Structure formats: structure tokens, C-alpha cells
Amino acid sequence: MHLHIDNRSALGPVFQATPERVEAALAKRPDLRAQLNITIGTDGAEFKRAMQTADILFGWQFDRELIARGEAPRLRWVHAHGAGINHLLPLDWLPKRAVLTNSRGIHAEKADEYTVMALLMLNNRLPESATHQRAAHWEQVFSSSIVGKTVLIIGVGHIGAGAARWAKRFGLHVVGIRRSGRRHPHVHEMHTPDALHALLPRADFVLVTAPHTDETTHLIGAAELALMKDGAGLVNYSRANLVDYDALRAELEAGRLSAVLDVFDPEPLPASSPLWQTPNLIMTPHCSSDDTELYTPKTLDLVLRNVERFIAGKPLLNKVNPARQY
């Protein structure tokens, strides 16, 4: 069985499936050595040749047109080296018999740290203090304890559930929204998306951890932001297009809301973007939860675990549902 890994140098060392990392992952599953031929390329090098015999493709951005033309005759499984798959949509390039998996859940521990950090930053009004700092303006910004306040988590999946667990530990009242409405042990109240407008006025903090799909584009727009209480804070962890940043910027400039953002469109965010100068905002350049040392090794562990399942004819973990787009 042939697994081809296509690395992208522009993504940096965190996301490189190097020979050393691949070897370390294989060492945990030595039985796979005799069953698996692994090739590694960078920036599309050897891609065309590898696709002639590859059964499995591991990558982030690759020549989908080549696959769509039928030049990957044996391809039956593609693993996206990340949680989001929006850049791969529509999936009309994916062979009909092939499945797509992603890396959701790999971020868990680091994501938990970031989301709880962001909530604590908002509660302690650090975006506001950072604005004063940049202006060399001394103003004491006091705050109250986070205990007893309400966080609304939009999208209680892997990341949202981890955030809920920590929020509950810190004494927050946790309100969740998920498509199924299914209860979760760390969420005090669970609702379906149709309750969003009723819940926003109650929240001291809104944490966006839902996937980006056609249905969630600008889920938080001007109308939704207007429903948030004065002094509330917003964290966008998932994808930029879930939040209308123009509308958010207006609220931040008015001093009514504060925010922590990790995702942008486009990325890298151009120097001309007004977000760089927006007050009451802290930005991190889409680096919130990709563990420097562990992200790719943990992803490779997941892929090789799935290789074992693939060989055994078992359903793959983290299979993407094309209808849901995640």
C-alpha cells in the first residue's frame, strides 16, 4: 500500500511531516513497515509520479485538478493535514470511491489552553489595556472575578467541549450551541442554532468554535453583535468567515465590545487591514493551537492508526461528511 505525503514549505516546520517524524510514528507500529510504502515530497515535487500508484494522500494543498482528471487511479483516501477543509471545497475532485479525513481533535490540549487564556484575557480587560498601552496612556482598568459569569460556546465539538470543561472549572455558567442539541456533561445548558439570538444577550463572553460551512458564514453579523451586552467579549477561534469583521470592528471602535481573534481572511492579514489598528482587540496570527512539537507527530499517529483500520476494512476515524462540510 502506497502512502504519499505532500508537505508545503510555506506552512513552516510545525506542519512538516519530515522523514524523522514519519520514522518515529512508524516505530510505534512496526507491523506496518512491511505493508506500507511511504514517499515524501515538498511543494508538489514528485506529486504527479506518486499519484500514479498512491492509495493514500496526506497533505494540505495539492493539485486537485490532477486527481480530478483521473491521474490518481488507485487513490482511495485523502487525509487533510488540518481541521478545516474549506480550501478543498467543493469535493468534486475527490474520486467517488475515496474518503476524506481531517485532523480534528489533534489540537485538543493546546486549544484548551488558548481558549481559557482568551476568556481570562477578556475578563481582565486586556484588549482594552493593550489599547491604552499602545497609546502610552495610563488608565487603570479594573475588573471583577470570572466566577458566575456566562460563556456562550457556539459549536460544542472537540474544541468547544474542551473549552466548556475548563470554563466550568473556572466557575463560569456554560451555555452551548450545537447542531444536534445533544447534551454534554460540561455544558449547563445546550441549545440548537435557532436559539442564538435569544442567548446572545445573556452572554458575558461568546466563544466561536464552530466549523465554517455555507450555513455558518457570518453567523455572527451586525445584528448578532448588536444583541451582545455592553462590555461583552468575543473570541473567534475557528474560521474568520463565521464573524463579520467589519461589523465587529465598528463595535470595538465604539468601545462597546472587546475581542480576541486568531483567524483572518485573507491570511496572512495584509498590513493595510484596519484590524491592525482597531482598539479593544488582541490578535494572534492563526497560531492558537498548533503545538510546535506535537501537532504533526500526533497527526501522523492518527493517520497510521487509520492505516491499520483501512487495511482491516474498518471505518476510518475523523471521516469528513461532505454534506456537512466538516
Beta strands in the chain (DSSP E): 2-7, 37-42, 56-59, 77-80, 99-101, 150-154, 173-177, 189-191, 205-208, 233-236, 258-261, 281-283
Amino acid at 267: E
Q: How far apart are CA 143 and CA 300, in angstroms?
A: 43
In SS3 terms, 245-280 reads as HHHHHHHHHCCCCEEEECCCCCCCCCCCCHHHHCCC
Does 286 participate in catalysis according to the annotation?
yes
Query: Three-class SS of residue 297?
Result: helix
| Active-site entry in 183, 267, 309, 324 | 267
Does 239 participate in catalysis according to the annotation?
yes
Q: What is the number of H-type helices and E-type strands within the chain?
A: 10, 12
| Active-site entry in 239, 249, 293, 324 | 239
| Active-site entry in 2, 179, 202, 286 | 286
Cell readout for 257 is 465590545
Query: Three-class SS of residue 110?
Result: helix
Query: Three-class SS of residue 201?
Result: helix
Q: How far apart are CA 87 and CA 224, in angstroms?
A: 26
CA 114 to chain centre: 12
Q: How far apart are CA 102 and CA 104, in angstroms?
A: 6
Cell readout for 104 is 480534528
Beta bridge partners of 174: 151
Cell readout for 12 is 513552516
Question: Helix axis angle, 295-312 relative to 19-27, nearest 10°?
Answer: 50
> Catalytic amino acids?
239, 267, 286
